[in-house]
Structure 1
């Protein structure tokens, strides 16, 4: 049993935070599925920027689109959707074998729309129709404007990966938005059992932000905040999905919205390269890993089932100590949300600029 299989046995699915046409064409992604190393794929603007700008995988697909007069953004979406469709087809058997619980491939709405509810929902609907795969998840950011779009998308029957969650307070709003979507769907007499959603709670960036604010005398708190934050968020998840409100929806086929641990690559070289994997294991969760983290997990990861539920008192103590130092978690996570939205928008801008350069050259 490899470490990914051990995580699955503990109730956690490994998704791959990476997509590139070369992986689809050379059979590597299919091999990873066959070896039971991954059970889904996530993507974001930065991943596509790296895939398209740092390889020649897309040259052949780009040229005819450029010669047909398509804009840079039209070319990007056509290339990205083709990749997502191919990956979704590779995962389709697992999607059915898992009872529609795994085998998902995520594609994000334009990061330019992060603060526009109606435009986000319109694009989510459009991507759902264009990709036309039941195991697609449309990624919608957990901004204030994103929350009503999440509810409406769920009500419309679209699988949603809610992204850029940093705080427990925003996570509570995300879970409520999901339940509202299911309730709207149930009220309309529509089935709930085909709808899946995950809530992508970002991890390592929290430590990066807080560690930089700690003095030498507070060094014992370094590398602790992100795991504490995630463990308490998992406790929140268990509480919400044990309520009568959700149980009424579950009786109609509603599924839990699984927490997904994102940004799980260790950014500090002083930390274990599997820190944000082995400390965050628990039932009904997902961990989406960048390539280097997955390699590390398969090489030397030691899985502790239910590590998410260890030392909750210590997690509370960590956050209390940070508060005493004047480090307010909600203020930190608000900064991280703003930075995350900007980072994805900047990556999308750089991506479109690179596609435009290639488009001009092809024409």
Structure 2
């Protein structure tokens, strides 16, 4: 039997999570099969994924009909369905969580995207979801907005696992590391254990290249055309490699070493938004270039399948670091500021989660009303 490239990634220190969830794969045994045969070590979800799953599959119809009869609130219908799927997936991953001593086996659920700019409401919602799911291998996804960071700190201090999502820039990533360590220090001062608290920082990749490439293409015909064409598709990989260097620097700091001595586990970088959006690039572009120890890559099903077929695993995350460090400055010369790109993408990212979330609730409300109309008075 040929080697599965996905299993080789695990041997290189990278965990592969699936960026997708839907009821069918939970009940058919497909997810259990991928855990066993692909070494799948976790799942990430978001409002966009659930909108596709719930509106695109009949598996949910019976549940929606049952809940519509006894629950008046469409948000409650949505949450009951989502919590059921997330809980089911977390149970499937519990052996992975136990085997890796709490390093892997996580299933992520996102707080409502409408709360992205509200610290207290985000923290409150995260605690409620955590308590409702009541499992050690759940991660609550909190957007890495400026208002999200104090919520991250509060949740880590409470011992809640956090997936800090929608990260696009190095400046914000440094702030995330700070908020996470603040939370651990707060927990330590309270005399609480640190070892069981897990966190990842989700760096979104393809969206960076989509926006930067668009700006580079608009320079076509100018004197910078040649430089611009050489920089196409380079921004996201460069930024990810630079983020990993920040991660490694942090692990050498006295501050981190003190926490590690108290049993804390590091906050791994997670590569997200890894489906290639431009057909000119390889369909595994955001996997091959970013393989390195102590990282996670979350792949949508089509990217996972592509990598299983033709992946070529090797440690590449620290290749071409000099070149990676030059990319931001070369883009600046062309009038493209990566930190400004990051801010724009963060704002767009929040909107891109609010839209499917609202669309899903509207669709559920329609179905609820139809079912209610059929009920005998």
**TM bin (shorter chain):** over 0.9
TM-score by length of 1: 0.99
CA displacement at 1:36 relative to structure 2: 3.2
1:67, 1:237 → 2: CA distance? Answer: 50
Residue 342 (structure 1) aligns with: 351
CA displacement at 1:69 relative to structure 2: 3.0
1:281, 1:141 → 2: CA distance? Answer: 24
- Higher-Rg structure is 2
Residue 323 (structure 2) aligns with: 314
Q: How does 1:273-288 map to 2 (within 5 A)?
A: 273-288=283-298
Residue 165 (structure 2) aligns with: 163
2:345, 2:317 → 1: CA distance? Answer: 23
Match of 1:129 among 128, 131, 134: 131
Contact 2:86–2:109 at 8 Å: present in 1 too?
Answer: yes
Alpha-carbon displacement from aligned partner over 1:139-186 (angstroms, at most 9, x marks no partner): 000001100000000000100000000000000000000000000000
Range with bigger deviation, 220-229 or 61-70 = 61-70
Match of 2:199 among 187, 197, 200: 197
TM-score by length of 2: 0.95
CA displacement at 1:362 relative to structure 2: 1.8
2:318, 2:71 → 1: CA distance? Answer: 55
CA displacement at 1:114 relative to structure 2: 0.2
Q: How does 1:71-220 map to 2 (within 5 A)?
A: 71-214=73-216, 215-216=219-220, 217=225, 218-220=228-230
CA displacement at 1:242 relative to structure 2: 1.5
Residue 259 (structure 2) aligns with: 249
Question: Runs ≥4 in structure 1, deviation > 3 angstroms?
Answer: none
Q: Which runs of 5+ in 2 are unaligned?
A: 373-377
Q: How does 1:22-33 map to 2 (within 5 A)?
A: 22-33=24-35
Aligned residue pair count: 362
2:351, 2:65 → 1: CA distance? Answer: 30
> Helix, strand or coil: the match of 1:144?
coil
Residue 20 (structure 2) aligns with: 18
1:354, 1:57 → 2: CA distance? Answer: 15
> Helix, strand or coil: the match of 2:15?
strand
CA displacement at 1:70 relative to structure 2: 2.9
CA displacement at 1:34 relative to structure 2: 1.2
